[in-house]
Amino acid sequence: MNHAFPTPGTESILRTGIQNQWYLVCRSEEVGAQPIGVTRLNQRIVLWRDASGQAHALEDFCPHRGAALSKGIAVDGGIACKYHGLVVAPDGVVAAVPPVEHCAFLGQKRNRTYALRESNGAIFLYFSDETSNEIPEFWLPSPLTSDEWSGFLYMTEWDCHYSGPLDNRVDPIHGSYLHGDTFTLAFGKKCSVIQLDETADGFEIYRDNQAGINIDRTRVTYRPGNNIWIETEIPYPRSVGGNFFRILGYPTPIDEHRTLVWFFRYQRSTGWRRDLWRFFYVNRLEARHAYVVGQDRDMIETIDYHARDREGLFQTDIGVVRLRRMLHQIAQEQAHALSQRS
């Protein structure tokens, strides 16, 4: 099917979000029999569950007149538009056109579809630039697939371009300043040299003098054509038993001005220690972590996307520079593939 999408350049891809990648789009509990509409990567999407509980995702667009399918109702054949009753099946094919006896696009695929996976209480969709029909196998970091880890999903929306919270994830030095009054990040030195090690599937950064004290180390993992994950280890103060928890995530662009910021917060523990961690998280840590995220949000929402045109970077921004280069290379390759197709 020809969607007649314009061929974007590298900068356009970076502005709206890297394609050919799995993104978390919402919590599993948000999707039920009543369709819901979301915008992700500047694309309007409708999600719903069929009678068996299977979740589906389609372009939120009625092929008749463009009304939002998310305003419609789930039916056996898919989703019915509330405006004139047209039914679109989960595979994007028009299944019924009740107002007329014969319709030219009955049985035609008229809507963009999204491969969907459900895991760890979340819905993930694959956003393809349609240069290939292949859908890569969905991949998750080991803490999200291992019984040795236990954790929680946090999600919120920020009024900013996704590059802001993304840069923030690979900027460990800010924790000693912006979060200096918080439970887990109020310790350690305020001056560090950031070390960067290349890995087989990305890179890792860490402060030269903060191991086990403040924001420890952050690892960026890139699976080409699959997804990008950022993992940060946060030590707990020894006064409360030590250990650490891990933050895993990658911001999902909503549009050029809003971002779905989400993290899985996990700890490796078993038995009573796991029970204690989960109890402590729900009753104490979740609110404290929300306070930290609120500090990030208040700051990042003040930074315009074009601030990078005038910014002066430090040595401590080495992770920011490395990640930007990675994303630029990915976007450049995608732009080239799109130009070849056209």
Which pLDDT tens digit goes with each residue over 15-50?
999 999 999 999 999 999 999 999 999 999 999 999
Highest mean pLDDT among 4-13, 137-146, 205-214: 137-146
Q: How high is the pLDDT of residue 314?
A: 94
Identify whether residues 195 and 316 lie together within a single domain: yes
215 in a structural domain: yes
Q: Model confidence at 158, in pLDDT bands (50, 70, 90)?
A: very high
Identify whether residues 109 and 240 lie together within a single domain: no
Task: Average the pLDDT over 160-184 and give the result.
Answer: 89
Identify whether residues 324 and 216 lie together within a single domain: yes
Q: Are 131 and 5 in contact (CB under 8 A)?
A: no
Among residues 127, 155, 178, the one where a domain terminates is 127
335 in a structural domain: no
Answer whether residue 184 shows pLDDT above 70: no
String of DSSP letters for 87-103: EE-TTSBEEE-TT-S--
Q: How far is CA 316 from CA 119, 167, 248, in A?
A: 35, 12, 21
Residue bearing the bigger pLDDT, 43 or 238: 43
Q: How high is the pLDDT of residue 176?
A: 84
Answer whether residue 81 shows pLDDT above 90: yes
Q: Model confidence at 5, in pLDDT bands (50, 70, 90)?
A: very low
Identify whether residues 255 and 287 lie together within a single domain: yes
Task: Average the pLDDT over 201-230 and give the result.
Answer: 87
User: How many whole angstroms separate alpha carbon 69 and alpha carbon 79?
Assistant: 7
Q: Burial-class residue 39 by CB neighbours within 10 Å (0-12, 13-18, 19+).
A: middle
Residue 315 has phi, psi (to 5 degrees) of -60, -30
6-15 as b/e: b if 16+ CB within 10 A: eebbbeebbb
137 in a structural domain: no
Identify whether residues 247 and 179 lie together within a single domain: yes
Identify whether residues 113 and 162 lie together within a single domain: no
115 in a structural domain: yes
Identify whether residues 92 and 172 lie together within a single domain: no
Residue bearing the bigger pLDDT, 91 or 5: 91
Q: How high is the pLDDT of residue 7?
A: 53
**Residue with token string 């979301």:** 38
Q: How high is the pLDDT of residue 8?
A: 64
- Taking only the tens place, the pLDDT of each residue in 274-318 is 898 899 889 988 888 899 999 999 999 999 999 999 999 999 999
Residue 27 has phi, psi (to 5 degrees) of -75, 150
Identify whether residues 167 and 288 lie together within a single domain: yes
Residue bearing the bigger pLDDT, 342 or 336: 336
- Taking only the tens place, the pLDDT of each residue in 314-335 is 999 999 999 999 999 999 999 9
Among residues 99, 127, 155, the one where a domain terminates is 127
Identify whether residues 40 and 160 lie together within a single domain: no
Q: How high is the pLDDT of residue 34?
A: 96
User: How many whole angstroms separate alpha carbon 108 and alpha carbon 245?
Assistant: 49
Answer whether residue 6 shows pLDDT above 70: no
Q: How high is the pLDDT of residue 239?
A: 58
Cross-strand pairs, 39:
44
String of DSSP letters for 282-304: IIIIHHHHHHHHHHHHHHHTT--
Q: How high is the pLDDT of residue 50?
A: 95
Q: How high is the pLDDT of residue 242?
A: 61
Answer whether residue 4 shows pLDDT above 50: no
Task: Average the pLDDT over 130-140 and give the result.
Answer: 90
Q: How high is the pLDDT of residue 73?
A: 96
Q: How many domains does the chain have?
A: 2
Identify whether residues 292 and 147 lie together within a single domain: yes
Range of the domain at 235: 142-330
